[in-house]
Amino acid sequence: MTAYQFPVEVHSHTIHSDGQFTVKDLVESAVSFGYKGLILTDHNSSAGYSEMSTVPAVKDGELVTLHGIEWTTYFGHMLVHDADYDVDWREATPNTIDKYMAEVQVANGLIGIAHPFDMGSPICTGCHWDYQVKDYNLVNYIEIWNSNRPQDKSESILAYDFWVDKLKKGYEISCSAGRGWHRPDTLDANMGVTYLDIPESELTAENFKAALGQGQFYVTLGAVVEFQLQAKDVTRSYHIGDRVELEDFSEGQIQVRVEPTELHGLTQFAVENAYMTIWNNEEVIYQSEPLKLLDSPWEIEIPLTQDLAKGYVRFDIRADFRGIKATPVVVGNPIYIK
């Protein structure tokens, strides 16, 4: 099965909250960067979304958009994507957040925890996640990278570990990247990009939302990755976010292709000494030798000579990046094995 990839941004702001962009400016900046999809998530406001359909790039289908909002409270910031209606966040408390998350799900919305370890009040009211979630099945994704230069932030390491801990506990939960895009980029900015990995060759609002809900995406600081499990009979292959049966993979293989980014805003940032690690649950089942420069396609085939365990398979790529040694530069969401 062929998969198609689309770079999208899922956390952005305009003058309808604390951003510097008009809606038109944000859309045009997204198209210029190379995004194919965009979610506007102004703080406690969805007012800007109604303007999007009037911007030529959206009207003509060049950029696919979804409705969004960032719940901005004293106890945490929460991305709510494409709910049928706005759920009132004002009564949520640290011990009752599950009730309000469940209401978002009733409204067919998706939930992401934004920048869970960013500094809180008084520097940033509620930026630190202090809600006591009892059931993480209510959460679709945890934002492990936020803002520009996420590789420089200790908060990114904490958020990555927070996400992995939820996987270890059996939750089917994705990691996401969001720029928290408020203003035009500085020249030295790099950012995490979310790539949808879907079977359809055309991005639509429907498969954009479905991909986020199913975890059919990965996050990257540059490199583009195709990652799949292929069954022994080679007639079936499975991609990020898929749910598969364990018996399908006896003596199968993992196939990977890594390519440098074509997004102009990221091409100036070199990736060096890159290596890939693949996990089956908490066990490392493969680790590559470092690749000095990631400047051409890199292909890997890994025979599955041992039985996989039920749970998940996932990967990341670490590399030397902008002075940071062995930092995550690509993080893949799991393929879940039943």
What is the per-residue pLDDT for 285? Answer: 94
**Angstrom distance (rounded) from CA 52 to CA 137:** 32
Helix (H, G, I), strand (E, B) or coil at 101: helix
Exposure b/e, 272-308, CB count within 10 A at least 16 = b: ebbebebbbbeeebbebeebeebeeebebebebeeeb
Among candidates 159, 220, 229, which has minimal Cα distance to 195? 220
Among candidates 195, 137, 146, which has minimal Cα distance to 167? 137
**Angstrom distance (rounded) from CA 294 to CA 301:** 17
Longest dimension (CA), the chain: 58
| 321 neighbors 269 (Cβ within 8 angstroms) | yes
298 pLDDT band, cuts 50/70/90, is very high
**Angstrom distance (rounded) from CA 26 to CA 299:** 36
Q: What is the DSSP letter of 165?
A: H
Q: What is the DSSP letter of 116?
A: T
66-70, 183-187, 205-209, 231-235: least confidently modelled range: 231-235
What residue type is 325 in one-letter code?
K
* Segment 127-167, tens digit of pLDDT: 999 999 999 999 999 999 999 999 999 999 999 999 999 99
| 120 neighbors 130 (Cβ within 8 angstroms) | yes
Phi, psi of 111 (to 5 degrees): -120, 130
The whole-number average pLDDT for the span 159-184 is 97
**Angstrom distance (rounded) from CA 6 to CA 24:** 21
Asked if residue 1 has pLDDT above 70, the reply is no
Q: Considering the domain 4-218 in this protein, what is its CATH number?
A: 3.20.20.140
Number of Cβ within 10 Å of residue 173's Cβ equals 22
The first and second tokens of residue 141, run together, are: 């994704």
The first and second tokens of residue 12, run together, are: 């952005």
Question: CB burial class (10 A; 0-12, 13-18, 19+) of residue 317?
Answer: buried
Asked if residue 234 has pLDDT above 70, the reply is no
81-85, 92-96, 301-305, 312-316: least confidently modelled range: 301-305
The first and second tokens of residue 222, run together, are: 């540059």
CA atoms within a 13 Å half-sphere pointing along the CA-CB vector of 279: 17
Domain ranges of the chain: 4-218, 222-337
Q: Are strands 253-259 and 64-66 parallel, antiparallel or unpaired?
A: unpaired
| 74 neighbors 125 (Cβ within 8 angstroms) | yes
* Segment 36-67, tens digit of pLDDT: 999 999 999 999 999 999 999 999 999 999 99
250 pLDDT band, cuts 50/70/90, is low
Average pLDDT of the residues of the chain: 95
3-class DSSP string for 21-36: CCHHHHHHHHHHHCCC
The first and second tokens of residue 181, run together, are: 């895009």
Domain range 222-337, CATH architecture: Sandwich (2.60)
**Angstrom distance (rounded) from CA 128 to CA 116:** 5
**pLDDT-above-70 percentage for the chain:** 99
The whole-number average pLDDT for the span 75-104 is 96
